[in-house]
Amino acid sequence: MENNRRDFLKILGIGAAAGMAGCSKTAPERLEPYVVPPEEVVRGHPAWFRTTCRECPAGCGMEARVREGRVHKVEGNPEHPVSGGGLCARGQAAVQGLYSPDRLRTPLIRDTAGKLQPASWEQALKAALEGLAKARSVRVVTGAARGALEELIREWPGAQHVIYEPVAYEAVREANRQCFGVAGLPVLRFAEARLIVLFSADVLETYVSPVGYARGIQEARRAGARILYHGPRLSLTGARADQWIPGETPPADLLQRMREVPSLAVAGDDLSDALAVNRLNSEAGALNRTVRFDRGSALDSAVSKFEAAAGEAVVVVEANPLHALPAALRNAAFVVCLSSCPTETTAAAHVVLPVHSPLESWGDYEPWTGIHCLQQPAMMPVFDTRETGDLLIRLAGLKHASFYEYLRARWRKLNPQADFEAFWAASLKLGGWWRDVPERTVALSAQAPRPPEPERQQGYRLHTYPSLTLFDGRGANRPWLQELPDPISQAVWDTWVEINPADAALLRIRTGNRVEVRAGGAAIQVPACVYPGITPGHVAIPLGQGHRGFGRYADGVGANPYLLGRGPVEIKRVSERRELVRVGGSDLQHHREIARSRTVPGESKPEPHSPLHDLTLYPEHPHEQHRWGMVVDLDACTGCGACITACYAENNIPAVGRDRVAQGRIMSWIRLERFFGQGTAESDPFQIDWTLVMCQQCENAPCEPVCPVFAAYHNQEGLNGQVYNRCVGTRYCANNCPYRVRRFNWFEYQRPGPEDWQLNPDVTVRTKGVMEKCTFCIQRIVAAKDRARRENRPLSDGDVVPACAQSCPTQAIIFGDLNDKDSRVSRMARNERRYRILEELNTRPAVTYLMRERRKV
Amino acid sequence: MSEATANLAAPELNYTSVDRDLVKTMQPPRRLYYGVLAALLAVIALGGYAWSVQLRQGMGVAGISSPVGWGFYITTFVFWVGIAHSGTLISAVLFLFRVRWRSSIYRSAEAVTVFAVLTAGLFPLIHLGRPWVAYWLMPYKQMGGLFPNFRSPLVWDVFAVSTYLTVSALFFFTGMVPDLAIVRDRSQGWREKVYAFLAQGWQGTNTQWKHYTAAYVFLAGLATPLVISVHSIVSWDFAMSLNPGWHTAIFPPYFVAGAIHSGLAMVATIVIPMRRIFGLDAFITREHLASMAKFMIMTGLILGYSYAVEFFIAWYSNNAYERDLFFYRAFGDYAWALWLLVACNVLAPSLFFFERVRYSVRWLVTICLLVNVGMFYERFVIIVTSLGRGFDPFTWGLYVPRWPEVAILAGSLAWFFLFFLLFAKAFPVVSMWEVKEQLPMPGGEAGRSAMAGKEHP
Amino acid sequence: MSGHSVIGFFASYDLLLNAVKSAQAQRCGEIRTISPVPLPEISELLGEKPSPVRRFTLAGGLLGLTVGWLLPIGSVYHYPLIVGGKPLVSLTPFAVVAYICTILFGALFTVLGMLLNARLPRIQVGRGYDPRLTGNRFGLQVICAQREVQEIERKMLDFGAEEVKYVEV
């Protein structure tokens, strides 16, 4: 099998991962560079493998960058129909699932005393088969797995397949069933809409397919679209919208406004919202135009609750139901868990079989009907794990040779006319195969119910929402995601409850105070976050924390709001200590114009550029070849944090942990600065503005002349260089940076193996005592220049893409050569919305920002 | 009675008694001395341990972080450099101005200078992230052609502080040579050999005195601009940056005045107990102390004026960043430190207006200790509030010192006092030959001293 | 230099002053005083020229000024790096370095000048040196030929010395 693959990859010329020589399944103990490498491996040059991201059910296309047999970074697949090149923060953190130090390394069998003990593969498989044979029935639990895996499980004689997703949008699907007769999620064509109405649907964060939706919404935005967000909680998506209509009653004239332009309404996972939205879409003409049911979603058969029957054997495959449903497997007679990392479910299993992580696996996934995304291993397995499909074949007693063969056979059936090997190779190269599907129209049923009135309840109405960083909880063992600050609360490494200021004043709660949230018998204790963006009478808690047995980064962090259910809750302050770790000093801008926005139409045009700004006593320094610059379009930025996590991955930035973030020592080179309003008090209506701040690569950099040893200097291409091996660590440069973008290495940050395998070999790993900061991904600039030189051509616009710009789903960050007047960055830097942060200090930054717009709806 | 002797109250002082009383201070010490020595060594060891932890684990064990990247260490550095200045002021500047009351204090003051600079010199090493490459700040060709960055105020610091150390040490030692000869002449055995070596064969011939006094004058003349420039250069560590509250032209005179203020306070803090323990009331009289106190009134008022001007200019400038920062200083998280330092630096020394306070040793010690505390907090407030309240409100943050910083601060105090303790027993703490210069000459006309005949060289 | 000298010990400054005047008037030979404090009046009497130490100071200062400018300027030409947009030869910050170097070199040369001129350090104090001379006695040393020694000794006692000593120089 390995030889076949190697040969045909040779044909494609993509290159094979080193280490393919030798067909053993055990990971080599040491990786050493070749003295004479295989022909297709060029040392120092990466190979790219296209696969599919499995960090959530969206199924975005992903490319894995592999150097000498190790995956270092993943990026979006620009040819993918869902995501189009962007990749969210959770996708970027997929490598941390691959290299998690807590990964299961051996099979485990529960002994008579009830503890899991390491065992050999033969023993574990034997025990699993015995347990399955003895059970009355078999239930296989997976996440959304539409594709070869789902079909394989269907072949398992007598097994019932449960597609379990904690976030399954059952209310939306039920509403669709009642209204349109289709119990599924629609395809949303945001790009064609000019008015987008969101009923608590966080389409830019976690809702169904956020990267794809962000891309579509940005396209709509460029064409003048307006976004309205209605709901009791102002989420990040709502903050990005032009207007927030708080509360639970939609505006009366909404339908009329939706009729004026092509529009689209989307509902979050709430039945009454979904019924209202279906009605609106139907009456506004959005149905079958911007809201289509041609393609079914992989989530259409998902459930968020299930319970094992008595005497049943349950096979859990890369899912963790016990986090959200602690009692789901209570009655099960026998549990086999196939997982790459330890979870609450593996802790309760009788047999645990470690499997490949998605970056090591074969597979496919069909997020929408006709969009067949292919998954291929980007590297040899790190540990002694097995392919999930192979294990299922064995456990089910099926006759297929291997899951790989099964997958290929399935694809042969998918596209029977094609020359299969060519088709297979082309699909691997593209990342999948997408085909058109027949159109399907629906209409609002006459029996469609009206949305029920919201019931009055005692207590606070609780909204739990999948977290932007951790999703439904599966991201909690990835330190990058734990350390990615939630844009709304700016909190890290914790769970919190958002409370309106008026409610908080009544309860005498301040941000950070520990609070008990009680729903009947269940209660959790979390710190409070006083947030004007939640309607009085409502509280909100993000999902995803409160794990036990999910690894060193997840255990003991935060609390689990799944336990509280959906009913009303009581809130009570428990302690006055301030416990919430937040990044960020002040929530207010004090009129310093850091994150600017303007209302359109209405506000005055931005000030003309004053020639006084160009006055300088100093000589002009010529940039003969290139002058690198960046434009950040704040109207495109959704605040998702993909850029931040991509930067962590690309530049070997350590995640420092909760306590050190509390001390102000977070190491991110690019950060999201989120403010409430523009002035010294929260504005009315409540508005959130944000900006992305990274090293501005100032021409008159204040950090450079104060470094005593020239560790900070300005290079010929306009970059502010930081020479790590010259830095003595006086920290004067950081003190003199008005943007405070410089980060100091306060400790020698350790990375438990195999996390260090992820480190990018093109970027130095900094020692303690050394200053670091954003470099505009100078390693990529150098690589692009090398490539251009090898190919005997000049650098062209778009050759250099820093990691942050590459990952952004909406392309809010544009990078390029300012010396080239026609480059995209130069053109955008002349946009009328442009401004620079702290321009009056005359630092002459190379980063230009485009003001965010709020369009009157 | 001439002005010279007006400052030396004791009529029984003569050349013989000067020698006798001051050489007596160098006798083998009592048990209390050893006890204090042991305690100081213990505190230094604690500071050393704290530093070793920091070297092993990283700067992160201290409380500094982003945005406040400088905290106790730089505060302490500036504190010690400041203290160093009054020594030179008393020895050099007052010498050039022919101020008589300097002569008995100046040796101790100069010792304070040298030891304070030695203490201050530790901190550039301690606060560096990679102190093992600290030598890269030295001006020599390194790494294939690179020199340090002479535009950086930190490199100016290297030059200024090392020059200050060199010149002060030279001045200190040179000034001591005739005294070392006196001690040599009154010692036996190995001690005599040591002092003979240190005295370099000094005899006191007229040629030696001629060259010596010339050199002394020039050294004083060179040290005077140093007093002004060194702390100005240290103040430029802040003034050359763009932070609100730092970027101001008032810093050089402000810092120099503050340095003299704190230095005088430290000299008084040391000299008063020393005077008591060694029984040097005749040499360092209440007049001397009162003169120092009067000087402190002046420096205290200059400081008060400087604080007022800073606040005024911040308001008058209408610059939003400056105004916000100064409002924060007065009413924000560290307001307690600001009001404390105003009380200690300006209000407390103003009590010296009252004669009773000036002449009371207890008041002197109390007020001088308060001034020391106040001067420490002055630098603390400047550094921490400006860094913690910068241009971008998202970056605002606090600073809380942690145990290594407190331990190292205590260690530095112990280090300084240790030097002084050793100095007090090894060298004469009052300049014998200069005191003699002021006294009526033996067998001469009543009241005529060697100084009376002094003219400009 | 070899020679013979007589040192007279005086307990009073006035006596010393008169002795010096008398010794000068009587052309007794080379006259030196040894005292615990500097004696500017006597210095003037002896017609001492101003000390050349000041020339050392000046030379040192000028050297320091030169080095203080050349070092930074040379360094930026040797390895040109742009920092903060500032010009390569940034005169203002370099002036600070020059200022400090002026003082440093001036001080070092001053001390050097003093040591050289005063012929210090000496391994041993001159023979015949008496510890009282750093205490409370003034010494008048006359260097003369051997035959004059006796006479000088007698004159010293006339001048008012309480003790005389013969010392080979």
pLDDT of residue C45: 83
Whether residue B225 and residue C103 make contact (CB cut-off 8 A), yes or no, is yes
* C-alpha A685 chain-centroid distance: 30
User: Is A82 within 8 Å of A60 (Cβ atoms)?
Assistant: yes
CB-based contacts of A668: which residues, under 8 Å, 6+ apart? A483, A644, A647, A648, A653, A743
- Across the interface, whether the CB atoms of C32 and B201 are under 8 A apart is answered no
Cβ(C128)–Cβ(C5) below 8 Å: yes
The mean per-residue pLDDT over the stretch A601-619 comes to: 71
d(CA A85, CA A64): 12
pLDDT for residue A457: 80
Nearest C-alpha in C relative to A703: C84
- Chain A residues close to B148, C-beta within 8 Å: 708-710
Dihedral angle at the C-alpha atoms of B300, B304, B310, B311, nearest 10 degrees? 160
Q: Regarding the domain delimited by C4-36+135-168, which CATH topology (the fold level of the hierarchy) does it fall under?
A: Alpha-Beta Plaits (3.30.70)
Q: CA-to-CA distance for A171 and A46, rounded, in angstroms?
A: 45
Q: Which has more confidence, A44 or A251? A: A251
CB A513 within 8 A of CB A527: yes
* Closest chain A residue by Cα to residue C85: A700
Q: What pLDDT, in 10s, does the model give residues A317-356? A: 999 999 999 999 999 999 999 999 999 999 999 999 999 9
Query: Residue A702: which of B68, B242, B397 has the nearest Cβ?
Result: B242
Higher pLDDT, A177 or B188: A177
Is residue C122 pLDDT above 80, yes or no? no
Q: Give me the pLDDT at residue B447, please.
A: 56
| Spatial separation of the C-alpha atoms in residues B295 and B273, rounded to whole Å | 20
Contact A713 C86 (CB under 8 A): no
Q: How many CB pairs under 8 A join B and C?
A: 214
Q: Does A824 score more than 50 pLDDT?
A: yes
List of chain A residues whose C-beta atoms are within 8 Å of the C-beta of residue C81: 710, 713-714
Q: Among partner residues B201, B433, B457, which is closest to C36 by beta-carbon distance?
A: B433
Q: Is C91 on the interface with A (CB under 8 A)?
A: no
Beta bridge partners of A74: A64
Tokens describing residue A450: 């009206």
- CB atoms < 10 A from the CB of C124, how many? 8
DSSP three-state, residue B234: helix
- The Cα of C93 is separated from the nearest Cα of chain A by a number of Å equal to 10
CATH architecture of A461-575: Beta Barrel (2.40)
DSSP at A838: T
Question: CB of B185 within 8 Å of any CB in chain C?
Answer: yes
* pLDDT (average), residues A127-131: 96
Q: Which two tokens stand for residue A585?
A: 């000093």
For all residues of chain A together, what is the average pLDDT? Answer: 92
Q: In this model, does residue A17 exceed pLDDT 50? A: no
Q: Helix B251-278 and helix B286-316: axis angle, to 10°?
A: 160
- Asked if C70 reaches chain B (Cβ–Cβ under 8 Å), the answer is no
Give the pLDDT confidence score for residue A26 in this predicted structure. Answer: 45
Highest average pLDDT, of A32-46, A221-235, B173-187, C13-27, comes from: A221-235
Contacts of B192 by beta carbon, 8 Å cutoff, 6+ apart: B184
pLDDT score of A656:
96
| CB within 8 Å: C36 and B436 | yes
Q: How far is C135 from chain A (nearest CA, A)?
A: 51
**Would you call B160 and C100 a contact, using CB atoms and an 8 Å cutoff?**
yes
Distance CA A549, CA A479 (A): 15
For chain A, say whether B174 makes contact (Cβ under 8 Å).
Answer: no
The answer to whether A745 faces chain B, any CB pair under 8 Å, is: yes
Q: Are B315 and B303 in contact (CB under 8 A)?
A: no
For residue A140, give the nearest of A494, A392, A517, A512 by alpha carbon.
A392
Q: What is the distance in angstroms between the Cα of B23 and the nearest Cα belonging to chain C?
A: 11
The ipTM assigned to this model is: 0.93
Rounded Cα–Cα distance for residues B334 and B332 (Å) = 6
Residue C158 pLDDT class (50, 70, 90 cuts):
confident
The arithmetic mean of pLDDT across residues A455-482, rounded, is 93
- pLDDT score, position A659: 94
CA-nearest of A67, A62, A33 to A47 is A67
* Partner C contacted by B195 (CB < 8 A): no
A512: pLDDT strictly greater than 50: yes
Compare CB distances from B149 to A702, A710, A731 and report the shortest one's residue.
Answer: A710
Which of A589, A594, A739, A746 to mutate to probe the B interface, most B CBs <10 Å? A746
CATH 3.30.360.10 matches B3-26+63-401+427-442: no
Q: What is the pLDDT along chain B (457 residues), one digit of tens a residue?
A: 344 444 554 557 888 888 888 888 888 888 999 999 999 999 999 999 999 999 999 999 999 998 999 999 999 999 999 999 988 888 888 888 888 888 888 899 999 999 999 999 999 999 999 999 999 999 999 988 899 999 999 999 999 999 999 999 999 999 999 999 999 888 888 888 889 888 888 888 888 899 999 999 999 999 999 989 999 999 999 999 999 999 999 999 999 999 999 999 999 999 999 999 998 888 888 888 999 999 999 999 999 999 999 999 999 999 999 999 999 999 999 999 999 999 999 999 999 999 999 999 999 999 999 999 999 999 999 999 999 999 999 999 999 999 999 999 999 999 999 999 999 999 999 999 988 888 888 775 555 666 654 543 3
Q: What is the pLDDT of residues C90-109, one digit of tens each?
A: 899 999 999 999 999 999 99
* Contacts with C40 from chain B: Cβ below 8 Å: 213, 450, 453-455
Please tell me which chains touch A, using 3 or more CB pairs under 8 Å as the contact test.
Answer: B, C
8 Å CB contact between A367 and A209: yes
Q: How many residues are recorded in chain B?
A: 457
With left for phi above 0 and alpha for psi between -120 and 50, is residue B189 left, alpha or beta?
A: left
Q: Which residue has the higher pLDDT, A152 or A611?
A: A152
For B249, how many CA atoms within 13 A lie in the half-sphere containing its CB? 1
Cβ under 8 Å to A: B residues 382-441: 387, 390-397
Residue C104 · residue B166 · CB < 8 Å: yes
Q: How far apart are CA A173 and CA A178, in angstroms?
A: 9
Q: At a CB cut-off of 8 Å and minimum separation 6, what does B449 contact?
A: B2, B4, B5, B437, B438, B439, B440, B441
| pLDDT-derived band at C69, boundaries 50, 70, 90 | very high
**CATH code of domain A108-166+306-354:** 3.40.50.10490
Confidence (pLDDT) at B446: 56
Angle between helices A403-414 and A388-396 (to 10 degrees): 100
User: Residue A30 pLDDT more than 70?
Assistant: no
> Which of B323, B324, B392 to mutate against chain A (most A CBs within 10 Å)?
B392
Q: Which strand (E) or helix (H) includes residue B163? A: helix B153-185
Looking at domain A2-103+364-434, does it have CATH number 2.20.25.90?
Answer: yes
Q: Is residue C80 less than 8 Å (CB to CB) from chain A? A: no
Q: Where are the domains of chain A?
A: 2-103+364-434, 108-166+306-354, 187-292, 461-575, 597-855
**C154 Cβ contact partners less than 8 Å away, ≥ 6 residues apart:** none
Q: What is the mean pLDDT of residues A749-754?
A: 92
* Å between A833 CA and nearest CA of chain B: 21
Distance CA A629, CA B435 (A): 70
A614 touches chain C (CB under 8 A): no
Indicate yes or no: CB of C75 within 8 angstroms of CB of B147. Answer: yes
Lowest-confidence pick of A11-25, A579-593, A769-783, B272-286? A11-25
Give the pLDDT of residue A31. 57
Who among B66, B149, B320 is closest to A734 (CB)?
A: B66
Q: What is the pLDDT of residue A785?
A: 95
Candidate from C51, C104, C133 with C-beta closest to B204: C133
Which band of pLDDT confidence, cut at 50, 70 and 90, is reported for residue A604?
low
Q: Residues A152, A182: contact at Cβ < 8 Å?
A: no
- Asked if A664 has any chain C CB less than 8 Å from its own CB, the reply is no
Residue C93 forms contact with B (CB below 8 Å): yes
Pairwise CB contact (< 8 Å): B392 & A594: yes
Mean pLDDT of A600-624: 75
Is residue A80's pLDDT more than 70? yes
Question: Which residue in C81, C84, C93 is closest to A700 by CB distance?
Answer: C84
Is residue A20 scored above 50 in pLDDT?
A: no
Q: Is C59 exposed, middle or buried (0-12, 13-18, 19+ CB in 10 A)?
A: middle
DSSP state of B360: -
Query: In this predicted structure, what is the pLDDT of residue A731?
Result: 97
Class of domain A187-292: alpha beta
Its sign, for the CA torsion B254, B255, B258, B263, is negative
Look at residue A368 in the predicted model and tell me its pLDDT.
96
- Name the residue of chain A whose CA is nearest to B63's CA: A663
Query: Which has the higher per-residue pLDDT, A301 or C19?
Result: A301
Chains touching B (at least 3 CB pairs under 8 A) are: A, C
Mark yes or no for CB contact C51/B174 under 8 Å: no
Check CB contact of A105 with chain B, cutoff 8 Å: no
User: Which 3-state string (H, E, C) describes A766-795?
Assistant: CCCCCEECCCCCHHHHHHHHHHHHHCCCCC
Q: What is the pLDDT of residue B9?
A: 47
Residue A385 and residue A340: Cα distance in Å, rounded? 8
Asked if residues B63 and B426 have their Cβ atoms less than 8 Å apart, the reply is: no
B12 chain-C contacts, CB cut-off 8 A? none
DSSP state of A309: P
| Cβ separation C121–B201 shorter than 8 A | yes
- Asked if A838 reaches chain B (Cβ–Cβ under 8 Å), the answer is yes
Q: Is B242 on the interface with A (CB under 8 A)?
A: yes
Model confidence pLDDT, tens digit, residues A353-388: 999 999 999 999 999 999 999 999 999 999 999 999
- CA-nearest residue of chain C to B206? C33
Question: What CATH architecture does domain A597-855 belong to?
Answer: 2-Layer Sandwich (3.30)
